[in-house]
Amino acid sequence: MEAKRFTLNKKTWIILLVMIAIGVVSLLYGALAGPGIKRMAANLLLNNYYFLSLGLIGLFFITAHAVSESGWHTSVQRIAEAMSSFIPIGGVLLLVFFLSGGLHLLYEWTNTEQLDEVLQGKTPYLNEPFFYIRTLVFLAGWSILAYFIRKTSLQLDIDGERKYFNRLRVLSAVFLVFYALSSVISSWDWLMSIDAHWYSTLYGWYVFSSMLAAGIAMLIILLYVLMKMGYMEHVNTEHIHDLGIYLFGFSIFWAYLWFSQYMLIWYANIPEETVYFYDRHLHFSGVFYINLILCFVVPFLALMTRNSKRSFTILIPVSVLVVIGHWFDLYLLIMPGTIGGEASGFGLVEIGTTIGFLGLFALVSFLTLAKAPLAPYKHPFYKESLDYHTHY
């Protein structure tokens, strides 16, 4: 039984295009008038990184489940695939951003004439040619693997051949190995090197955990939107429950890594390290606590009971708050090092750019969803996902 095909209706098209237009307009406003080009560039980096990472989490979702031979995920696999289709687009945008001056504008270490002793020591790693090589390798690797994983997954729809199932598993393993290294290194390159003097070994995993929680929340929101439009009828309460557990669990996991990093730096109290949190606490104390509340306190308290994980009435508001919360997490990672405490703010540029990227992300995802049935109904595990119960 082939699942219902998705078609993007006119109204949604228009809404998404308007959202993208708002993004473009607020970027222009940011660049030409008002807050200035640096703040606009920082926003561009933030949103570009955020939505690119959400795409990657989509791919991570598919591949991790494929490798662990889980069954239930197949019911929402197509949504995760749709999210992953943003990877090449986000990748190109990021590359264009760096090449068109974003790199020089935001990253202190590119200013090679005025490097202090510490930063001079880092030039074997932090130099432009090597930076671009790494960026290219990551973006190309992700895009190519995303393409082949999607292709194999669609081939599985034709007759559910074992060959494609095995190939999907092999490709997934390849992606996971590549992603394990590239997600860490790319977060050093694109985010940690903003505060070029500062370093933390946990940084890469911390950023990953943040994006993971946000990615699951985005997946839940997309699922909700599709169900509201009358699609995804094969998804039942059990699947929603499982996604709710993920959101709950990964939010706790994020808090765990946040605490580990913060506590160790606070406790050892080495000036070179504490300066990072000192600045964030001094100039961004509001965002600092909003971030913790939205990313941990809200999902932890709201999703504790079984019923709240099973109904959209609680799950959706929480997901939206978590997506916003991790946006603020990135805000805290990027803004202090690029535009600093005095010049940064939260206004039209921030909101507009985010709306624009959200529109683009949704549009790309929806267009991908329209290309194939909404469920991999010939996947060997698809039938399993229709018949199971969550006991917790």
Per CB under 8 A, does 174 bind other proteins? Answer: no
Per CB under 8 A, does 278 bind other proteins? Answer: no
Q: Are 16 and 362 in contact (CB under 8 A)?
A: yes
**Residue 196 CB, nearest approach to other proteins (Å):** 10
Closest CA to 31 of 87, 97, 86, 93: 97
**Residue 78 CB, nearest approach to other proteins (Å):** 19
Span near other proteins by CB under 8 A; candidates 36-44, 138-146, 260-268, 366-374: 260-268
The residue type at 68: S
Alpha carbons 202 and 170: distance in angstroms, whole number: 28
Alpha carbons 3 and 103: distance in angstroms, whole number: 45
Per CB under 8 A, does 375 bind other proteins? Answer: no
As to burial, measured by CB atoms within 10 angstroms (0-12 exposed, 13-18 middle, 19+ buried), residue 177 is exposed
Q: Are 214 and 322 in contact (CB under 8 A)?
A: yes
DSSP letter, residue 51? H
Per CB under 8 A, does 261 bind other proteins? Answer: yes
Span near other proteins by CB under 8 A; candidates 84-92, 142-150, 244-252, 316-324: 244-252
For other proteins, give the closer residue by CB, 10 or 389: 389
Over the window 184 to 223, marking each residue x when it contacts other proteins by CB under 8 A and - when it does not, the resulting string is x---x--------x-xxxxxxx------------------
Span near other proteins by CB under 8 A; candidates 121-129, 136-144, 228-236, 358-366: 121-129
Q: Which of 10, 269, 271, 313 binds other proteins (CB under 8 A)?
A: 269
Burial code (b: 16+ CB inside 10 Å, e: under 16) for 194-209 equals bbbebeeeebbbbbbb
DSSP letter, residue 303? T
Q: Which of 13, 130, 266, 278 binds other proteins (CB under 8 A)?
A: 266
Per CB under 8 A, does 127 bind other proteins? Answer: no
Per CB under 8 A, does 112 bind other proteins? Answer: no
For other proteins, give the closer residue by CB, 22 or 126: 126
For other proteins, give the closer residue by CB, 12 or 200: 200
Alpha carbons 230 and 224: distance in angstroms, whole number: 10
**Residue 17 CB, nearest approach to other proteins (Å):** 41
Q: How far is CA 183 from CA 190, 199, 221, 341, in A?
A: 10, 16, 24, 28
Q: Which of 17, 28, 180, 293 binds other proteins (CB under 8 A)?
A: 180
Closest CA to 350 of 372, 327, 367, 369: 327
Q: Are 152 and 167 in contact (CB under 8 A)?
A: yes
Alpha carbons 243 and 135: distance in angstroms, whole number: 32
Per CB under 8 A, does 304 bind other proteins? Answer: yes
Per CB under 8 A, does 162 bind other proteins? Answer: yes
**Residue 267 CB, nearest approach to other proteins (Å):** 4
Per CB under 8 A, does 267 bind other proteins? Answer: yes
Q: What are phi and psi of 5, to 5 degrees?
A: -80, 150
Cα angle 85, 331, 202; round to 5: 80
Residues that bind other proteins in the complex, under the rule CB under 8 A? 68-72, 118, 121-122, 125, 162, 165, 177, 180-181, 184, 188, 197, 199-205, 245, 249, 252, 256-257, 259-270, 272, 304-306, 380-381, 383-384, 386-389, 391-392
